[in-house]
A and B are shown apart, each in its own frame.
Chain A
Amino acid sequence: MADVLPGERPQLAPPVDDTGPLGWVRKNLFSSWGNGITTVVLIVAIGWILSGFLHWAVFTATFDAKSGAECRGHGACWALIREKYRYIFFGSFPYEQHWRPLFAVVAMLAMLILSSDRRMWNKRLIAIWGVGSFVAFLLMFGQIHISLGLILFVALAAGGLGMILRGAIATPGELNGWRALAAVGALGLIGRITGVIPTWSLAIAPLSYVETGLWGGIPVTLILATYGLVFAFPFGILLALGRRSNLPLIKGLCVGFIELIRGVPLISLLIMASVMLPLFLPSGMTIDKFLRAQVAVILFAGAYIAEIIRGGLQSLPKGQFEAADAMGLNYVQKTTLIILPQALRVVIPPLINTFIGFFKDTSLVLIIGIFDFLNTANQALVDPNWAGFPGEVYLFAAFIYFCFCYSMSRYSKHLEIELNKGTRR
């Protein structure tokens, strides 16, 4: 090659030994005697376990049976799942009404799938979630009564938020709109409390009412996990920002809250919410058990999400804060336009990992007697006609959990690649 000029060397093909499937096998599986033996032993072991499992789960399994007795002596009793799947999926929800939780689940899954597309990450998504959630809960409850007090409260909250968040950028006309909304809400609430305005409620009642005590299975798990995280996310952002605040009181409160929540197991929070909270409420006042569990999940997830987001905030170079300051952006503008978009981008993959964890952690609500998916699967075992096949039921439950968690995991991977594609630093 001595007579080839630099820059004119021909592109040579790689040595044949290293390419193609055979080359791959030789290089990765049989590169030495030791590796070869390991490969053979592992292939035999995997084959043995797999054939045993298939024998049990497929070849000798019972797919159709009137009761557990017909399954005995054979392999897996999938007839049990066939018999009980409606209960496992939807719990004690009235049997002939099962289409309602089914469509509620479809609505929630549709919202989640829509939200997974980055092109949908804009204001429209909030509207989609508003409408979708309303449909899902209307299907689950059957009837929704919206009291005047709640409407007024929402008006006050929306007006107040609009004034704060849009205050710096809105036109005077828009700002007056927010002010008017908040004022109507505030005055109306005062009127309601003092009794000047009579009570009234808007009833949307197309279906029969089903209380939360009868909810169960997949919808319960999905609602607890989804809404737990939807609300925990902004809550966690506020906690993370508060923890970095210069105001000692805000900082102290946030640190205290985060450390307190992180210092106790979720189970203890759930037990507190279900057993202890009612003791502190004035007599006659009750808060739905499901709602209490939901709030406990939100508080718990919020503290963990806050710590992840804080990591993202800390990963930003100081110069980003300084550049935003030097331009004259105020705190809200700096945080929403410069800091959070960058910090959240960094923490999306670890956030989704936390989401996967919380999706499974919601199964702890079975401790306080809420029938989430794992708990309904558990209850399906109680039927004496079908006693003795826990393996099948748990395998089925594990499979469903796996489908959810694995898709989230794949999504996290996909998003990581997507976000790194335009590495813009």
Chain B
Amino acid sequence: MATAAQPKQDLSHAPSVITLKGVNKWYGQFHVLSDINLDVKLGEKIVVCGPSGSGKSTLIRCINRLEEHQQGNIVVDGVTLSNDVKNIEAIRREVGMVFQSFNLFPHLTILENLTLAPIWVKKMPKKDAEEVAMNLLKRVRIPEQALKYPGQLSGGQQQRVAIARALCMRPKIMLFDEPTSALDPEMVKEVLDVMIELAREGMTMICVTHEMGFARAVADRVIFMDRGEIVEQNEPEAFFAHPKNERTKTFLGQILHH
């Protein structure tokens, strides 16, 4: 894996694409997100980590409205999230998502998985959509699997297809929800390599992951969450070298020296 730290670009003048202000969410009595404030610049790469149940998945799932927040404001690409279905669909067109369990559609071929959204949501002609899809499959290095079904592919290949599927919509923002957690160890690298490539091309990314090598290589900012709060955030070097909060130290101690 390319772990050598890249010179990070200067984001201070970049416009914000995602803004969360005072976001709160409860599951019943359980306060899963508590007063989240977050501002993501265009082109910024953020890695979110934290113990399980800390609300990190819920956080990114609120950004494309897979989960509904109860208080506060979320603005994505200039659109404020509300119950308006048109707004939600507009945001989802701009935000690609990759899941822990791939969630490819098992009844469709790889190519059909990729072209589905461009054809039906963007109304792209089938031919053009297939061209875009084949180019993306080349980028994730599995063009030869285009006519197979997801069940015939390995986990790593499926996850790369899932990334390509999200990219087919030409999204401005990519959300990754533990993309390598369900993979066998030997397949983690092929997926991370694709993600690193994507990061270097300037995609805005929010990635929930515990792959600290990945965080070091591409993240502009690492966010640590615990019990629904953003406990600490910093540039990766500072974050790993000098964590300030006790909870961050404990967590890093657990995942780095097991």
Which A positions have Cβ atoms within 8 angstroms of B?
A: 168-169, 317, 319-320, 322-330, 333, 337-338, 341-342, 345, 422-425
Contacts and interface: CB of A to CB of B under 8 A. Distances in A.
Contacts of A329: 116-117, 120-121
Contacts of A320: 103, 105
A328 B107 contact: no
A85 to B, nearest CB: 46
Contact of B92 (A328, A422, A425): A328
Contact of A326 (B66, B107, B120, B151): B66
A341 B107 contact: yes
A423 B106 CA distance: 9
A344 to B, nearest CB: 10
Nearest to A422: B149
**Closest 6 pairs between A and B when the two form their complex, measured CB to CB:** A328-B92, A323-B103, A319-B103, A424-B151, A327-B117, A326-B97
A425 B106 contact: yes
25 contacts: A168-B120, A169-B120, A169-B123, A317-B101, A319-B102, A322-B103, A323-B99, A325-B66, A326-B66, A326-B92, A326-B96, A326-B166, A327-B92, A327-B117, A328-B89, A328-B169, A329-B117, A330-B89, A337-B116, A337-B120, A345-B107, A424-B150, A424-B152, A425-B106, A425-B150
A325 B92 contact: yes
Nearest to B120: A333
Nearest to A336: B120
A342 B165 CA distance: 19
B106 A342 contact: yes
A267 to B, nearest CB: 40
A328 B93 contact: yes
A322 B102 CA distance: 11
Nearest to A171: B123
A319 B159 CA distance: 14
Contacts of A333: 120-121
Given A327-B116, A328-B93, A319 B101 contact: yes
A327 B166 CA distance: 7
A342 B103 CA distance: 13
Contacts of A337: 116, 120
A341 B112 CA distance: 14
A423 B150 CA distance: 10
A241 B116 CA distance: 22
A201 B152 CA distance: 57
Contacts of A338: 105
Nearest to B90: A328
Interface residues of B, number: 29
B209 interface: no
A404 to B, nearest CB: 31
A424 B120 contact: no
Nearest to B65: A325
A342 B120 contact: no
Given A168-B120, A424-B149, A342 B107 contact: yes
Contact of B106 (A324, A326, A328, A424): A424
B24 interface: no
Contacts of A342: 105-107
Contacts of B152: 424
Interface string B140-152: 0000000001111
Contacts of B101: 317, 319
B71 to A, nearest CB: 21
Contacts of A325: 66, 92
A169 B64 CA distance: 23
Contacts of B150: 424-425
B169 A327 contact: yes
A337 to B, nearest CB: 7
A330 to B, nearest CB: 6
A329 to B, nearest CB: 6
A342 B166 CA distance: 21
Contacts of B116: 327, 329, 337
A325 B66 CA distance: 7
A247 to B, nearest CB: 13
Interface string B103-126: 111110000000011001101000
Contacts of B93: 328
A328 B121 contact: yes
Contacts of A168: 120
A323 B105 contact: yes
A423 B169 contact: no
Given A323-B104, A325-B92, 9 more contacts: A319-B102, A320-B103, A326-B66, A327-B92, A327-B169, A333-B121, A341-B107, A342-B107, A423-B151
A422 B121 CA distance: 28
Contact of A328 (B99, B103, B117): B117
Contacts of B105: 320, 323-324, 338, 342
Contact of B99 (A319, A330, A341, A422): A319
Contacts of B117: 327-329
A342 B117 CA distance: 17
A151 to B, nearest CB: 33
B63 to A, nearest CB: 10
A83 B150 CA distance: 60
Contact of A322 (B66, B106, B166): B66
A95 B102 CA distance: 65
A173 to B, nearest CB: 14
